[in-house]
Structure 1
Amino acid sequence: MIDWLLPFLESYHETNAGLPLYLIPYDDNMALTRHAAEVYGVTMVESEPVEVDRLSHELYPGVFNSHRRRLRKLQALALALDEVAYVDVDVILFRDLRPVFGRLESGKREFIVASPSFEYVYNENRKNYAFLDDALLFNDGFWVTSSRFLSLSDVLETVRSDIDIFHAVRKRGQLFAQPLMNFVVHRRGLKTALLPHCVENASHENYYKAPGITFSKGKPLDPEGKEIYLAHWAGAITLPSHDVFAGAWKELSRAARTRVGKRAGAHSFFR
């Protein structure tokens, strides 16, 4: 995970250092993570994800479901913030995210997402449930909401109340958080909006294999010339190498390792 975290933090430092960032621990291997957080001025979320971990084991029991830890992103909903933007760490940021905030509005935009995801959310049983008709299926690697519209307790209540429906409709195949986030948002009827419908000239594109991407002054544009805010290696099983965003990712990775390594002192964390 640290190989993804470092370039993400460097991209945050370059584009959004003025925004407070909270880092949710993924597992107990925290020595380098804590050091990197200190270097970048990031706040570690110290509260134990007891309720989230309990839910993850209820939903995905067994020794072969270790990736259920991905549900720990739900801890973002427990932060004492009026608005929160969640971002996966297999992401690099290209632009200032401040325009994303202040866009939420009751009954109009209660949950903002960067991009749709049509294939990795539900199975064919979704057609049996009217509340999923015309639902915007989204990638859960980036979203913005407020405790006014969605809290951790809301998630726990919704899933446990309708756990049978969730298991009936969720897509299988090592998918954990994304079907759950979609299900909760859709079951609660939150008004969901894509980033381009909230921020002028923003693109909904961020997939690392997206075609037709160009760069202007180091910033990516989609084929229509709209501004790409982030690149996401969703589903990637190896580190970036030859895709259109790989060059930027590698530069950020090198810069991050230099920055973190220098602060590590005589005993470098890297080999």
Structure 2
Amino acid sequence: MKKRGAYVLANDAVYEWTVAFLESFRIHNPDLPLYLIPFDDRCDEIVGEASEYQFETFEHESFNLLESIGEKLELGVTPTGPHWFRRFASFWGPLDEFIYLDCRMVVLADLEPLIQALDSYECDFLHFEGGLDQVYEPGPVRTALVREHHAQGFNSGRWVTKKGLFSRDQMQDVATELVRRRDQMNRRNTDQFFLNYLVHTSDVRYASVHDLMPEVSRLTWPRIPGTVYRDACGYKVWSHGRPEHDTHVVLMHWAGIERSPGMECRWLFRRYWLHGKSVVEKMMLWLRELVLMPVLVGERKLRQSQWVHRIYELLRDG
């Protein structure tokens, strides 16, 4: 019998994100096996939650090798980038079929149907779109992958796959090739373009989760058109007249977005983050959010304003 489950990558630097993730994961997936992949050596606080949220820590001998691949491809834009490559140790872990997830998200549904979809649709790798611009720079590599392999850019923070799909030798070979083609890859998202290229240039059967399961929302970012609401069937997108309308939201992913009272879909994060806190703690946090939210939302609107940027450029240029 196949062992199905999930992996999450985290450390104590994102402890509050991780607690919200763990809380949401266990509410919607009470029995699904979960393994923590340590982002680095700072994981004591999170590991202390293992009995509360029923997960195990997964250490693997490949961590050094994977980080060395990240170091070859890193341009210095994201100094912690090589640590993200530890997530690929999941290909050689204890689970036969699994979903990989970053900690800076909340889980809003039962994940087993996504994992079972590998067998149902005879696929090896399922992904959520993230956009080609976040993966490849314009150039011959991108053009060829789109033309010949129908490549869709996907985010490296959530994907579904099988144990042993790629070997360490394959990863090292792809890394060597990508060093030569580094100028055609995204400057920042090293692990993301690495995984995309690994999948796109292989013979594995891959597809978008949404393309196979159109009832699942294609997007898992909070900055999506419309709003997220909850009904008897779970979380859905309300975006009347758009393709996403009434599709199910299974994950909400805040990677790259600062955790603050002004962040989009904050209520979803707060729902799980506040679980287990005392009434006094909840009241203090709510008060802080009520005070700061208008300020932070206003600041974000100003930063996005075309006119503010024009005034700034005029002042800067004298």
Task: Give the TM-score normalised by structure 1.
Answer: 0.84
CA distance in 1, matches of 2:276, 2:212: 31
Q: Give the conservation status (yes or no) of the 8 Å contact 1:109–1:193.
A: yes
1:84 to 98, 112, 132: 98
Q: Which string of whole-angstrom CA distances, capped at 9 and with x for unpartnered residues, describes residues 198-238 of structure 1?
A: 336111121111120231236232521010111011321x1
Contact 1:132 1:186 survives alignment (8 Å): no
| 2:84 counterpart SS class | helix
Residues 246/55 of structure 1: CA separation in 2 closer, same or farther (3 Å cut): same
Structure 2's unaligned 5+ residue stretches are 1-13, 240-244, 279-318
Residues 1:220 and 2:220 are matched in the alignment: no
- SS of the equivalent of 1:75 reads helix
Shift of 1:22: 0.7
Distance in 2 (CA, whole Å) between partners of 1:256 and 1:156 is 42
Higher relative contact order (CA 8 A, sep 6+): 1
Partner amino acid, structure 2, of 1:255: H
Once the two structures are superposed, what CA deviation does each residue of 1:57-82 show, in whole Å capped at 9, x if it has no partner? 22227696223211111111121322
Residue from 194, 200, 203 that aligns with 1:186: 200
Is 2:123 the partner of 1:109? yes
CA distance change for structure 1 residues 120 and 234 in 2, over 3 Å: closer, same or farther? same
Question: Quick check: which has more Rg, 1 or 2?
Answer: 2
Of the structure 1 ranges 52-61 and 227-236, higher mean CA displacement relative to structure 2 is found in 52-61
Q: Indicate whether 1:171 and 2:186 are aligned.
A: yes
Shift of 1:14: 0.6
Aligned pair partner of 1:206 in 220, 225, 244: 220
2:77–2:187 contact (8 Å) kept in structure 1: no
Cα offsets for 1:4-58 (capped at 9, x unmatched): 1110000001111211011100111121011022321111012241221222222
CA pair 153-132 structure 1, distance change in 2 beyond 3 A: farther
How many Å separate the matches in 2 of 1:136 and 1:64?
24
How far apart, in 1, do the equivalents of 2:91 and 2:226 lie?
A: 35
Separation in 1 of the partners of 2:47 and 2:132? 36
Equivalent residue letter for 2:171:
L
* 2:210 is aligned with 1:196: yes
Indicate the residue corresponding to 2:49 in structure 1: 36
| Aligned 8 A contact 1:26 1:69 in 2 | yes
**Letter of the aligned partner of 1:242 in structure 2?**
G
Tell me which of 101, 104, 111 is aligned to 1:97: 111
Q: Residue 120 and residue 131 in structure 1: after superposition, are their counterparts in 2 closer, same or farther (change >3 A)?
A: closer
Q: What percentage of aligned pairs have identical amino acids?
A: 24
Mapped contact 2:75–2:187 kept (Cα < 8 A): no
* Root-mean-square deviation (Å): 2.6
Distance in 1 (alpha carbons) for counterparts of 2:277 and 2:86: 26
1:188 & 1:31 partners in 2: Cα distance? 38
Confirm or deny: 8 A CA contact 1:213 1:244 kept in the other structure: no
Distance 1:61 1:225 in 2: 41
Q: Which residue of 2 aligns with 1:72?
A: 86
Equivalent pairs counted in the alignment come to 256
SS of structure 1 residue aligned to 2:217: coil
AA aligned opposite 2:251: L
- Cα distance in 1, alignment partners of residues 246 and 77 from structure 2: 46
- Comparing 120-129 and 225-234, the one that deviates more: 120-129
Contact conserved, 1:70 with 1:177, CA < 8 A, in 2?
Answer: yes
Query: Which letter does structure 1 place at the counterpart of 2:182?
Result: H
1:242 matched to 2:262 = yes
Of the candidates 55, 70, 76, which is equivalent to residue 69 of structure 2?
A: 55
Between the aligned partners of 1:198 and 1:63, the Cα distance in structure 2 is 35
